[in-house]
A and B are shown apart, each in its own frame.
Chain A
Amino acid sequence: MSVQPFDSLHEDLIHDVAYDFYGKRFVTCSSDQKLKVWEFSQDTNNWELVDSWKAHESSILKVAWAHPEFGQVIASCSFDRSIRIWEEQEHELKNSGKRWLEKARLIESKGSVQDIAFAPNFLGLRLASIAADGVLRIFEALEVSNLAHWTLMDEVHVHVSRSSNPPAFKEAEENYCLSWCPSRYQSPMIVIGCGKENNARIFRCDQNNKWRPCEVLDGHEDLVNDVDWAPNMGRSYHLIATASKDHRVRIYKLLSNKDGFKVELVADLNDHRTEVWKVKWNVTGTILSSAGDDGKVRLWKAGNKAENEEGFKCIGIVCNDRQSNDTMEI
């Protein structure tokens, strides 16, 4: 058990961090409009800043790192309504500010772009985005060696009721998030936190490459702030976690049936007792992390049925200070 802190040197609040595929580097984004790339140094046993540049005209809200099969590619999205694609230039010096070259700017969104995620690599170089206009957009770089050309493959309004006649959206009221299904043995799927509808919905890509709304993960009493689809790891079912403004972390189990999935709420955790903003599964889908306004990160793990431990249990807490009263140290 260890903690290694370092200062990100951002001049405003951090909105997101994203690891590269191997976990050897990560990128941070902030309201200071900058992206910063960090690399783990074996020599100093610490993370070192390897580049920093002004990447957008407004706050950068999310950042994502593509699979290395497609090169060293970062996507960032911003309050400035754009998504920008950055490619590393190996020949440029570290910390020169030129190492990451903007290759494309995707400006289809009519509101701030609130979440982006690269698809799993077996689907090609695809990028999903969800903006404050409530539209899920799927972009694809059909020619991987030419990152300047991205094709908008599909646009889907996530509010099913509004899709035929979308009203003018109010930026301040909406909040969206998305996560791809990582399983290579399923048709492409995305779960989306659907803003004011207070739910999350699964969208599935059909044989004609059209994205359709499918199952709803309901039960939320307020906005869904974050969603994360767990790595499948050979399970016969899927797990999706949501973080909500209603102070709860929820975990849904998706069991395949002939029409799609049977959705079952398997955990409804209110330990944070404040708004929960982030949920994230680990690489094996065995531990879920959640973070909220209580200033704590909680780690959840499924009980072992063979040992009569049902449900998800909190196995760890990351605390800011030792005054905390609901922790148990070992």
Chain B
Amino acid sequence: MSLFPEHNSNAMQFTPFTFQPPPVDYSQFEGLSSFPSSKQFYEASVLTEAFLKEDAYLGKGKGKQVEEFEPKQETQKQTIFLNPPFEYDSNYWSTTNQSTGVKFHPTRSKDFVCYVYGKEPKEKVNKESFTLDTQIYNCSLGHDIDSRRVFYNEAFSIFREAAKAPLSKEWREKPMREKILCDISWNYVNAIVNHIKSLQENPTKDDRIKRELSTFRDMMAIWELCRIMYFIKSERYQRLSTDLVTWLNECYPLGALTEEELFEIRESPNLRNTMVFWSRLYKLVLRGLFPQAINFLRSIIIPVEVTSDKIGRENIVNDIIQSVIKCIKSRPKMASYDTDLIWRNWLSQCSQLQKSIILNDKFLEENFVKILKILSGDPDAILGKSSSWLEGLVALVYHKYPRCVASDIRAALGPVFVRFSVHPDPTSQALKRIFYQRIDDALGYCKHIDLWLLSHLTDLLCKTDIDETIGGKSLLLHQHREGYLIKFAEPLLTHSTLWQVGFKYLEHCEKFGRIFMEEFIGKIPFDNERKFEKILKICEDNGLIFDEKCIITTMGTKYMQIKRYASTIIYYMRAGKDESLRSICNMFLTRYIETGKIIFGEVLDSIPVDKNSNESVNFLSRYKLYHSLIQDEFYNQAAQVLVECLRSEIPPKEFWGVLLFHTVALMKLGNIYIYIYLIEPH
């Protein structure tokens, strides 16, 4: 699985470096995979290149000491230009009856309409001449959610798993905790990668897709750096430096050689004297890309013929190259536990080799020595050959502090920022603060990158023991977790397909989630019973009794509008809308008085009525029963029901006469006994 676009065929080919992370041996915390498997590290990435170039450019401001904590960047003002524009002349527009009007969308917090607004009614203004503008502009500051629907669904299932995971305090000391965290983190990264892939497969390469790709790559870089720096705290984890190098190569890969560089290399009679060659070799060594570096070095070994005059000189250079290759190959692996001794021995070999290199060709000598200096962790050599602060920092950690832990990295930052400045874009600033272990500040910059990243990273960081590991200081991220999650979930709440996911997020916000549910649950439009029941389920699950009643009433009213009274009554009964039910029943009775027809018979047939049902509906039901008993000539039973109706005092006064009329009619039959007790019979 590759994150970046396919390899540029014009660029110089390298031996593919295969990275196959799983299966992971979590028991040792050494095989933790940094990324989903990547086939090649050397794919050119336009965006990454641009970033590196820009950073490198800024990094050339040598000698500038960057403050550890720079002032926050100002909130950026977004500008929307209306197109087509309305007629506007600042000199006289305000003197006409025109101004601007605005109204926010009732469910989407970043959508609004604006229009040219008539300040006064035309009756109050003298006739004036202006161009009438009747355009209405629907504006949206929000992002397109639809294109991220698959990603959001996938990410939500990971979020839900993370919420269920046993990450409470009692698990803190257990290695399983770190394994779970890394698994969750890994799943999130996979989701990001999947989205990047889908974007890359999208045939339309418009600006929106490019921006989205850039955002997701930034998200990937930040997420993975957080994992490396914060999620794994085991003392046995000794891969920080190698993980950082892998992270750098994956997120900010070494770009392919340019056409000019390739031309220079191809046309060069002797690669040993080519600047581009050495420049590339330095990068490979800095970034720990040793197999490629070795291939590079091998390419400048010149086969020597016995008869050649230069045999001695060439042999010497070839020997040096072989020694450097040997030195690179013998670099100790950080995974071994007795590395300290092996490392010291290897550094000593490097140092001896450096001293032994004396060549007539000073250019060659200098380059070999510098390669060895980088390998042995010389800060000047490393930073001098790095083109950005990120490259410099990671190379410094990798070559000088290969066994360092996350908290040691601060020490390495000083020399890096003496030489390099950091681009003010939010991603660079966030990365810088992650290295400084100022996670609250880093998240502050993530806010400007993407709300998904901000909310989900905060949520996962809250599940780590990060508050205890960074100076025991209480971090704000725990306070902000809910706010960020709600901010992320809010646009989903009124989305046509993701609204349920939005509400599920709110269920994980114990403090404020319910308030947002109350505000938004009633605003979900429902066109069918299935969706309606889903909405009610959310109300039931979260105890939103008032909102549930409102929604049921709204459903009832919808049926009322199309005169489906049975459904209306059922929903109004469910909502406990006694007044409305009384009104509907009275309407039926009034129609009976006016027409003599029982039009509510069929309506009541489909309504389950019992003694606990609404009294108006119950009355109507009993009254209907009275009529059917009369029809079937069960007069005594009909009389009993009629007495019930008379005693109930439920029908409107206008209807009492009708009931009495029925009573008299029954009494006229002669053998019907109607008992009206003044007190309740026992």
- Could you tell me which A residues sit within 8 Å of B by CB distance? 1-24, 26, 28, 30-31, 47, 58-59, 61, 67-72, 79, 88, 90-91, 112, 121-122, 143-146, 171-172, 184, 231, 233-234, 274-275, 277-278, 280-284, 286-287, 289-297, 299, 301, 306-309, 313-322, 327-330
Give which listed residue, B79, B115, B119, B123, contacts A58 with CB less than 8 A. B123
A5 to chain B, nearest CB (A): 5
- A37 CA / B579 CA spacing, docked (Å): 31
Give which listed residue, A71, A289, A316, contacts B78 with CB less than 8 A. A316
- A71 CA / B560 CA spacing, docked (Å): 8
A246 to chain B, nearest CB (A): 14
Segment of B231-239, B250-258, B271-279, B546-554 engaged in the interface with chain A: B546-554
With A307-B72, A318-B82, A319-B79 as contacts: A293 and B134 at CB distance below 8 Å: no
A-B contact sample (15 more), CB < 8 A, given A14-B134, A283-B106, A292-B100: A3-B82, A6-B138, A9-B134, A13-B118, A22-B106, A122-B550, A277-B117, A280-B112, A281-B104, A283-B105, A295-B88, A297-B139, A317-B79, A320-B81, A321-B81
Interface of B is mostly: mixed
17 A–B pairs (Cβ distance < 8 Å), ordered by A: A6-B138, A7-B135, A14-B117, A30-B134, A59-B118, A69-B557, A274-B94, A277-B99, A278-B99, A283-B105, A283-B107, A289-B102, A295-B90, A307-B72, A318-B82, A319-B79, A322-B81
B214 to chain A, nearest CB (A): 14
Q: Is the CB of A306 within 8 A of B479?
A: yes
Report B498-526 CB contacts with A as 1/0, cut-off 8 Å. Answer: 00000000000000100110110011110
Q: Is the CB of A69 within 8 A of B102?
A: no
With A14-B134, A15-B118, A17-B103 as contacts: A1 and B141 at CB distance below 8 Å: yes
Report B75-95 CB contacts with A as 1/0, cut-off 8 Å. Answer: 111111111111010100110
Q: Is the CB of A319 within 8 A of B114?
A: no
What residues of B have a CB within 8 angstroms of the CB of A280 in the complex?
102-104, 112
A94 to chain B, nearest CB (A): 15
With A5-B136, A274-B94 as contacts: A14 and B101 at CB distance below 8 Å: yes
Q: Is the CB of B90 within 8 A of A19?
A: no
What residues of B have a CB within 8 angstroms of the CB of A292 in the complex?
99-100
With A8-B134, A145-B560 as contacts: A278 and B116 at CB distance below 8 Å: no
Q: How large is the interface on B (under 10, 10 to 19, 20 to 34, 35 or more residues)?
A: 35 or more
What residues of A have a CB within 8 angstroms of the CB of B114 in the complex?
291, 297, 318
With A14-B134, A315-B77 as contacts: A59 and B123 at CB distance below 8 Å: yes
B454 to chain A, nearest CB (A): 12
Segment of B302-310, B318-326, B580-588, B593-601 engaged in the interface with chain A: B580-588
- A31 CA / B553 CA spacing, docked (Å): 36
With A58-B121, A291-B100 as contacts: A3 and B519 at CB distance below 8 Å: no
B97 within 8 Å of A (CB atoms): yes
Shortest Cβ distance from A18 into B: residue = B103
- A45 CA / B546 CA spacing, docked (Å): 34
Q: Is the CB of A282 within 8 A of B121?
A: no
With A291-B99, A291-B101, A316-B77 as contacts: A144 and B580 at CB distance below 8 Å: yes
- A148 CA / B561 CA spacing, docked (Å): 15
Shortest Cβ distance from A308 into B: residue = B72
What residues of A have a CB within 8 angstroms of the CB of B88 in the complex?
295, 320-321
Q: Is the CB of A90 within 8 A of B81?
A: no
Q: Is the CB of B83 within 8 A of A5?
A: yes
What residues of B have a CB within 8 angstroms of the CB of A67 in the complex?
550, 554
Report B112-147 CB contacts with A as 1/0, cut-off 8 Å. Answer: 111111110111100000001011111111000000
B421-446 interface (Cβ within 8 A of A): 444
Q: Is the CB of B93 within 8 A of A282?
A: no
Shortest Cβ distance from B557 into A: residue = A71
With A17-B115, A184-B546, A283-B105 as contacts: A330 and B554 at CB distance below 8 Å: no
With A3-B137, A8-B135 as contacts: A316 and B94 at CB distance below 8 Å: no
What residues of B have a CB within 8 angstroms of the CB of A79 in the complex?
121, 123-124
B98 within 8 Å of A (CB atoms): yes
A98 to chain B, nearest CB (A): 15
Q: Is the CB of B102 within 8 A of A90?
A: no
Q: Is the CB of B132 within 8 A of A22?
A: no
What residues of A have a CB within 8 angstroms of the CB of B90 in the complex?
294-295
Q: Is the CB of A328 within 8 A of B76?
A: yes
